[in-house]
Chain A
Amino acid sequence: MKLKDLFNETTAALLGNKVRSGLTVLGIVIGIASVIAMISIGNGASSSIQANIQSLGSNLLIVTPAAARVIGSGPSAGRGSAQSLTVADATAIASQVANVVGVASEVSTREQVVAGANNTNTTIDGTDPSYTSVRNLTIANGSFFTDAEASSLAQVAVLGPTTASDLFGTADPVGQTITIQGVAFTVIGVAAAKGGTGFNNVDDRIYIPLRDAQVFMTGNQYVNDINIEAASAGAMQQVQNDATALLLQRHNISNPANADFSIINQADILSTASSITGTLTILLASVAGISLLVGGIGIMNMMLTTVTERTREIGLRKAIGAKKKDIHMQFLMESILLTFVGGVIGIVLGCAIALIISAIGVMHAAISVFSIVLAFGVCALIGIIFGYYPARRAANLNPIEALRYE
């Protein structure tokens, strides 16, 4: 039997029952499309989370206070609640630890902010001028405060883009005055958007000099965290170890288990995040994979029904000279063609879903060539695996019994 004949017979048989073929193909289309869309969404989520973490700053270590010590068995106020870090600690790290490029301390509070008729409640971030380089903050309009402004207790503020639009709408905030806790600050700059969302939105905050925050808001010498930028990714571990040792010594703590601070390594966050998104992608893909499996079973089901329905036809073909191999190939070809058509439509649909999701901005979806190759391979495999058994059944039919079949 020639390949061309095989193909003609196959298409004639499939087109002979368009509705059934169409519905069976639909099962594969949905399976393949969801695998591709899900893997794309997973990849997109993973890369955007990684980009978000990277945008916090490169080679970043963050020192935070440990939980405040409580007397007896009272309730713990949680990690970061202790007041154990000071500007002096930050200065010591900057001067005594090797491979440190920049250090920026932070004091954060939430305050009501008023600008003319508008007001908002946002995070006030008292920090050092080095913050821009340590945390990758770029200024879209105006400028960040200088060392001179920071040390002279100048009442200047830089707004996050979300805060700027909350307080001033579309008007240019630079040069305007805002009031925080009754203290007037002059807006000298607006930061570029970093693309944060939710409660800890990095775009919704006001940066003021550290001293200003301590004097006007917290009224003490402590800082909430110290950001350290290491010279390179390879130096991060050394900087973390040295900074830990230095702070333990400065705080007179001999047992590291009792440390009143902790240091978070950006690489750790990144690897945690990628393992989370990796798991998420696997989860999504396996849910989609199950639908692909169901589609494959649909093919098998249809092929078994077809073989039963066409028993007499199979008997006739055998009577007029078809060999086992001819019948086997014909029915296998039908299931392969079904999955092939379903696979192609599914890939197109899956990519379209991924592109639409990206385009309407729900989520960033990255289509990977790997997922397309995988989907196609799985598809071909499904056609062969789920078509093999029905085809074998057809090929093994006894021509005499098949011709008698009612």
Chain B
Amino acid sequence: MIECNNIIKTYRNGDNETRALRGVSFKITDGEFVAIMGPSGSGKSTLMHILGCLDTPTSGTYILDGRDVSTMSDDQLADIRSQKIGFVFQSFNLLSRATVMRNVMLPLMYSSLVSEEERAGRASQALLSAGLAKDRWQHFSNQLSGGQIQRVAIARALVNDPALIMADEPTGNLDTKTGEIVMGTFQRLNEEEHRTIVLITHEPDIAAHANRIIHIRDGVIVEDAHNHHKKVIDQSKIHL
């Protein structure tokens, strides 16, 4: 459960004050698949950073999974990120000199909740959920295709069993077909495993895969509605 109340974020650059978010309020319930849409400069990246606990709002409250994270310190935020949030980035951000397994296990290293013995099991589970074929698990990330790499990144986001998956332009570096497959993976995670997913994108085509779309412009929400034209990926057409 995510609850944002009148979130304001201002950046100060010398005498100039930039207001990236000018009072944003919304709720996301568990199991929702929400797309946050907006052109560049709309404040959607700032919102993502706050939702992902990478940054704190200047004012307003943000309650994630029952905890107010808007006033936490850097180290407390790191703990929250480790336990409650899984990130999927546009540029994947895998360690190129590490195997798929090691990449997926990486977040567990910083978590005090998962013992060393559990790690491999957790990683295997996450990789199965993300839909990466088993014969790829010992490969290095530079031996994989773009779609496979993004699925490793999804597995890495799942490995801590987070309350929220933040996907920041996850298809931005992929071709249309591979992008569809990745979006299909998100849909399956949402429908079958009831994962809460927040997707940040500027592409209406990609946002169309979500159940709910929040439009943001100039730091305020201009539209927040159920997506009546959801584009559903036929899971049977996804070849792993």
Contact = CB atoms under 8 A, between A and B. Distances in A.
Interface of A: 1-2, 4-5, 9, 12, 16, 312-313, 315-326, 399-400, 403
B79 interface: yes
Interface in B79-117: 79, 81-83, 87, 89, 91, 93, 95, 97-98, 106-107, 109-111, 116
Contact of A399 (B54, B79, B95, B110): B54
A241 B20 CA distance: 94
Given A2-B116, A320-B156, A323-B75, A12 B98 contact: yes
Given A16-B97, A400-B55, A324 B74 contact: yes
Interface of B: 49, 52, 54-55, 74-75, 78-79, 81-83, 87, 89, 91, 93, 95, 97-98, 106-107, 109-111, 116, 156, 160
B36 to A, nearest CB: 16
B93 A323 contact: no
Given A12-B98, A322-B78, A323-B75, A317 B52 contact: no
A338 B115 CA distance: 29
16 contacts: A1-B110, A2-B109, A9-B109, A316-B89, A319-B52, A319-B81, A320-B82, A321-B78, A321-B107, A321-B110, A323-B75, A323-B110, A324-B75, A326-B110, A399-B54, A400-B55
Contacts, number: 60
B81 A321 contact: yes
A345 B174 CA distance: 47
Contact of B87 (A16, A319, A325): A319
Q: Which of B52, B107, B111, B160 neighbours the largest number of chain A CB atoms within 10 Å of its CB?
A: B107
B95 A313 contact: yes
Contacts of B79: 321, 323
A387 B83 CA distance: 30
B39 to A, nearest CB: 18
B110 A400 contact: no
A82 to B, nearest CB: 82
B53 to A, nearest CB: 9
A269 B49 CA distance: 77
A12 B97 contact: yes
A315 B87 CA distance: 12
B93 A316 contact: yes
Given A312-B93, A400-B49, A319 B83 contact: no
A318 B81 CA distance: 9
Given A1-B109, A1-B110, A400-B55, A323 B78 contact: yes
